[in-house]
């Protein structure tokens, strides 16, 4: 897999992604501590609001900015987005009121909603060979998972010798390094944009492509299954470990590590899996694992797990849920590339970025609010039902007779 780093353009872009991810990870820890300084016991509410703002920015900004900036050189757009993120990270330590956090977080996440889909839509032009692209996707997935595991550890080590405000400096450094790497890289040229198409149609063009193709309709449904599983893990792991299993903070980290480990294992295996299986088989297998895993979580919660049995069950289930989400997330960009053309690819990637995050606006409240108000069994059961509905819809939307390899030939004119 590491052979793909011999491509100098991809190597620079991948390193830019990694350093930006590390900066983002440090920002997550620092923001939590800043929220506690400002709001005390209400820090959870502040962070919950910030998370909601993040998702709204992702959903609303990506398609609009893609349409508005369709003639801006990709290098200029990526470097500008990193510059905005660096400036905002530099300002965050100086906020004194909650509303200032919300404004800055919206601007920061709007810049991320500009950077990420633009970055992702450019990689197919850098790695034109299908096998190389698959290895690049696997490496990118590994970077995300490793960041989730290692950034908190790095932040904890740094906090032993510096104050949390200086973590924001690390965030700034990550974004500045990312901008410098992108600026020094020769990027593929942008396809000329057709400005004769009205702005509203350009904004919605990616979503219309996704809704108009069976393969991408299947992906849209699978996005909901991923969101259901991810919300359960990210929102309620701490509740399960602390309240149901009597664990402490290291137990929370261990459980989340199991989830990340399952995702990383699949990311490593994806190139081999896709050599012997088509995208549909791999992704729908993952989509089947998720509702089954969520249903088992519901049953375990309803049974009231003992400590020993509960730990073993949740560790295995978190590995399975991480694996299932990665079986969908890692190959998903292959579908986007196969089902788009050079002219509409940026719009399609932006639509996937926006619509996939829209699913979290549904699943996060279910995991958090239903879990707190009605009970964890009810929240898990609802998420399992949503994932089941999503998987069933994906199977129906993406017929077995339609394979992504076939559609790639149509989309690219080969």
pLDDT in tens, 53-103: 888 999 999 999 988 988 888 899 999 999 999 999 999 999 888 889 899
pLDDT range class, residue 411, cuts 50, 70, 90: very low
Claim to verify: residue 165 and residue 277 sit in the same structural domain: no
Claim to verify: residue 224 and residue 162 sit in the same structural domain: no
Q: How many domains does the chain have?
A: 2
Provide the pLDDT for residue 403: 61
Task: Look at 23 and 219; give whichever has higher pLDDT.
Answer: 219
Tell me the CA distances in angstroms from 105 to 62, 88, 108, 363, one per residue in order: 15, 8, 5, 21
Residue 387 has pLDDT above 90, yes or no: yes
Separation of alpha carbons 178 and 13, rounded Å: 8
Residue 407 has pLDDT above 60, yes or no: no
Asked if 256 contacts 404 with a C-beta cutoff of 8 angstroms, the reply is no
Q: Mean pLDDT, to the nearest integer, of 98-124?
A: 91
- Region of 140 (left: φ > 0; alpha: ψ -120 to 50; beta: rest) is alpha
Claim to verify: residue 83 and residue 103 sit in the same structural domain: yes
Chain length of the chain: 414
Asked if 148 contacts 25 with a C-beta cutoff of 8 angstroms, the reply is yes
Separation of alpha carbons 197 and 285, rounded Å: 39
Let me know if residue 192 belongs to a domain.
no
Claim to verify: residue 115 and residue 16 sit in the same structural domain: yes
Let me know if residue 193 belongs to a domain.
no
Decide: pTM greater than 0.75: yes
Task: Look at 146 and 386; give whichever has higher pLDDT.
Answer: 386
Mean pLDDT score of the chain, rounded to an integer?
87
Provide the pLDDT for residue 81: 95
Let me know if residue 37 belongs to a domain.
yes
Claim to verify: residue 88 and residue 116 sit in the same structural domain: yes
Model confidence over 318-377: pLDDT tens digits?
A: 999 999 999 999 999 999 999 998 888 999 999 999 999 999 999 988 888 888 888 889
Q: Mean pLDDT, to the nearest integer, of 247-251?
A: 66
Q: Of the segments 185-189, 310-314, 382-386, 404-408, which one has the largest average pLDDT value?
A: 382-386
Claim to verify: residue 174 and residue 243 sit in the same structural domain: no
In terms of Cα–Cα distance, which of 295, 299, 323, 322 is closest to 310?
299
CB atoms within 10 A of CB 66: 27
Provide the pLDDT for residue 413: 40
The CATH code of the domain that includes 71 is 1.20.1250.20
pLDDT range class, residue 194, cuts 50, 70, 90: confident
Supply the range of the domain harboring residue 12: 1-186
pLDDT range class, residue 406, cuts 50, 70, 90: very low
Let me know if residue 191 belongs to a domain.
no
Which residues are CB-contacts of 197 (< 8 A; sequence separation ≥ 6)? 205
pLDDT range class, residue 409, cuts 50, 70, 90: very low
Provide the pLDDT for residue 189: 79
End position of a domain, from candidates 128, 159, 186:
186
Phi, psi of 219, rounded to the nearest 5 degrees: -65, -40
Q: Mean pLDDT, to the nearest integer, of 121-126?
A: 90
The DSSP line for 28-92 is: HHHHHHHHHHHHGGGHHHHHHHHHHHHHHHHHHHHHHHHHHTTTS-HHHHHHHHHHHHHHHHHHG
Residue 44 has pLDDT above 70, yes or no: no
Claim to verify: residue 36 and residue 107 sit in the same structural domain: yes
Claim to verify: residue 230 and residue 154 sit in the same structural domain: no
Residue 405 has pLDDT above 50, yes or no: no
End position of a domain, from candidates 124, 152, 186:
186
Provide the pLDDT for residue 410: 39
Provide the pLDDT for residue 115: 92
Model confidence over 250-302: pLDDT tens digits?
A: 677 788 888 988 999 999 999 999 988 899 999 999 999 999 999 999 998 88
Provide the pLDDT for residue 41: 65
């Amino acid at each position: 897999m590491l052979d793909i780093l011999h491509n100098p353009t991809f190597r620079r872009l991948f390193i830019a992604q990694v350093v930006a991810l590390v900066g983002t990870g440090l920002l997550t820890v620092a923001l939590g501590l800043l929220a506690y300084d400002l709001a005390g016991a209400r820090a959870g509410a502040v962070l919950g609001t910030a998370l909601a703002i993040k998702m709204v920015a992702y959903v609303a900004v990506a398609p609009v900015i893609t349409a508005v900036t369709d003639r801006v050189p990709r290098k200029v757009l990526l470097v500008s987005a990193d510059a905005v993120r660096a400036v905002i990270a530099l300002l965050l330590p100086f906020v004194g009121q909650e509303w200032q956090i919300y404004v800055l977080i919206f601007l920061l996440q709007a810049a991320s909603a500009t950077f990420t889909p633009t970055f992702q839509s450019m990689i197919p032009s850098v790695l034109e060979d299908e096998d190389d692209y698959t290895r690049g996707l696997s490496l990118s997935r590994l970077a995300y998972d490793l960041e989730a595991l290692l950034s908190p550890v790095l932040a904890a080590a740094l906090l032993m010798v510096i104050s949390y405000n200086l973590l924001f400096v690390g965030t700034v450094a990550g974004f500045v390094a990312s901008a410098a790497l992108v600026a020094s890289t020769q990027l593929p040229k942008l396809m000329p944009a057709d400005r004769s198409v009205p702005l509203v149609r350009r904004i919605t063009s990616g979503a219309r492509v996704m809704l108009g193709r069976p393969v991408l309709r299947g992906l849209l449904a699978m996005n909901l299954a991923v969101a259901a599983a991810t919300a359960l893990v990210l929102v309620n792991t701490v509740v399960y470990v602390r309240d149901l299993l009597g664990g402490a903070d290291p137990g929370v980290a261990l459980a989340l590590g199991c989830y990340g480990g399952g995702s990383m294992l699949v990311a490593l295996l994806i190139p081999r899996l896709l050599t012997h299986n088509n995208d549909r088989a791999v992704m729908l297998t993952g989509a089947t694992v998720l509702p089954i895993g969520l249903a088992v979580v519901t049953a375990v919660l309803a049974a009231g797990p003992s400590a020993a049995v509960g730990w073993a069950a949740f560790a295995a289930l978190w590995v399975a849920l991480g694996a299932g989400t990665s079986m969908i997330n890692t190959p998903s960009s292959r579908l986007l590339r196969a089902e788009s053309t050079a002219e509409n690819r940026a719009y399609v990637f932006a639509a996937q970025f926006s619509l996939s995050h829209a699913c979290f606006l549904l699943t996060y409240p279910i995991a958090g609010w239903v879990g707190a108000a009605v009970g964890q069994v009810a929240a898990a059961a609802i998420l399992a039902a949503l994932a089941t509905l999503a998987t069933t819809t994906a199977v129906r939307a993406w017929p077995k007779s339609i394979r992504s390899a076939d559609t790639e030939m149509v989309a690219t004119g080969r």
